[in-house]
Structure 1
Amino acid sequence: MQEAIVDDLTAIKGLLAGAAPVTWVFAGDSIVQAARWTEGARGYVELFSERVRYECGRSLDAVINTGVSGWRSADLAAHLDRAVLRHAPDVTVIGLGTNDAKDLPVDEYVAVMVPIIARVREAGSRMALQTPVPGPIEGIPAYAAAIRELAAEQGTALVDHHARWQPADPRWYGDPTHPNAEGHRVMARTLIDALGVPGCKQAPATA
């Protein structure tokens, strides 16, 4: 009998419910990196790490952020081994599209992303795709729609920041494109909810 295919979100929830340590790799652009506009505050990947590794007691999980300011889909494709595969992730979370949306037709973005998903899957990793937050770049809504469709077609988990930021609060931005510290807190909550991270009690403080 052929083994049933488990979608990535179901698999990720299973990993979170299990006892085995999980390696999480976040790859993408300056919003993933949390560069500059947080003014030294933690970005959403760090907040996710705190929730999973400290509040949920999964202290042996590894949360790795390889986001690079300015990156586009083509950059991740060119450096996928360095940014993702060498870490042997159990879960890969990709946040790209804001820079591509400036001048790359959305169908060309999808054409780059599909082989990336295939290579990461071949390495044994589950995946989550993130939509970009709203901003002044005209192409972002079309990119958000395409990423939703891509996640559905490929069976990846979806973290829909764009939908959560409707309407977007001006207090969430460090500049018209990049979230500030409060924006990253909103992104962290969206990520945690989307991946089904359980509601965990605060672990005891240690020295």
Structure 2
Amino acid sequence: MGLCVLLLATAAQAQTTAAAPDTDAPRTVLVMGDSLSAAYGLRADQGWVALLAGRIAAEHPGWQVVNASISGETSAGGSARVVGEVLRHHPDVVVIALGANDALRGLPLAELKYNLARMIGASRHVGAQVLLVGMRMPPNLGAEYTRAFERTYRDLASFFDIELLPFLLEPVAADRGHFLDDNLHPTAEAQPAISDHVGQALAPLLR
């Protein structure tokens, strides 16, 4: 399905169930991610999303952060949930940080692109700005797949003209000491750096 057809289908689905947002409600950043955003192996308040929520509350009164991230989530899961989430929360900004589990499972990149495009389209339909957060994969997946995976995020950001943070874990990825024993999930000590990294990319969308 082409991206234009995809967006029309997503808009039609949202229009059938949309409700008027509460104009007195706080402005909302909705985060849709996987275990990297769901504070896997940590207390919820130690994760980068919770840390970012505290920073936003202090620096941008009237804003709140809703973390709708789920451990193990793929882009297909996010795509299946996105319409319900944006209609429930009426976000002003949506942070989409999915795709790592797709790559770890070797899922087709065409499906990743379709699913992320649907999430972006649903977010834009309710008037939200979008920050797309990419990942990088280890070379054992093959150089061609790894390059194409990273390019998927760049292509979507360019097509939809949205903000892109190319690599969620860039501030901590080079140091093995920043990760739990599974070598996949950052430690509590690494979370502030990730929070700052995302916060810098998010800041222009909160103005």
Q: TM-score, normalised by structure 1?
A: 0.74
> Are residue 72 (structure 1) and residue 94 (structure 2) matched?
no
Map of 2:196 onto structure 1: 189
Map of 1:8 onto structure 2: none
Q: Structure 1 residues 186 and 137, CA, compared in 2 at 3 Å: closer, same or farther?
A: farther
Aligned partners of 2:87 and 2:187: how far apart in 1? 29
The structural deviation recorded for 1:81 is 3.0
Map of 2:33 onto structure 1: 28
Secondary structure, counterpart of 1:99 in structure 2: helix
Kept after mapping to 1: 8 A contact 2:109/2:152: yes
Kept after mapping to 2: 8 A contact 1:31/1:179: yes
Tell me, which stretches of 5 or more residues in structure 2 are unaligned?
Answer: 1-24
Aligned partners of 2:100 and 2:174: how far apart in 1? 16
| Deviation larger for 134-143 or 27-36 | 134-143
Post-superposition CA distance 1:106-134 (Å, at most 9, x none):
12210221122111111111101111255
Post-superposition CA distance 1:185-207 (Å, at most 9, x none):
22111111222369xxxxxxxxx
> Are residue 52 (structure 1) and residue 59 (structure 2) matched?
no
Aligned partners of 1:95 and 1:197: how far apart in 2? 18
Kept after mapping to 2: 8 A contact 1:24/1:89: yes
Q: Structure 1 residues 21 and 133, CA, compared in 2 at 3 Å: closer, same or farther?
A: farther
Q: Structure 1 residues 93 and 40, CA, compared in 2 at 3 Å: closer, same or farther?
A: closer
Post-superposition CA distance 1:63-115 (Å, at most 9, x none):
10010011111111112233333100000001101111122121221022112
Q: What percent of counterpart residues are identical? A: 31
The structural deviation recorded for 1:48 is 0.9
Q: Structure 1 residues 94 and 162, CA, compared in 2 at 3 Å: closer, same or farther?
A: closer
Map of 1:83 onto structure 2: 85
Kept after mapping to 2: 8 A contact 1:131/1:147: yes
Map of 2:106 onto structure 1: 103
Kept after mapping to 1: 8 A contact 2:45/2:51: no
Map of 2:96 onto structure 1: 94
Secondary structure, counterpart of 2:53 in structure 1: helix
Aligned partners of 1:142 and 1:136: how far apart in 2? 12
Would you say how many aligned residue pairs link Structure 1 and Structure 2? Answer: 176
The structural deviation recorded for 1:162 is 5.2
Q: TM-score, normalised by structure 2?
A: 0.74
Q: Structure 1 residues 148 and 183, CA, compared in 2 at 3 Å: closer, same or farther?
A: farther
RCO higher in structure (CA 8 A, sep ≥6): 1
Map of 1:148 onto structure 2: 154
Higher share of residues assigned helix: 2
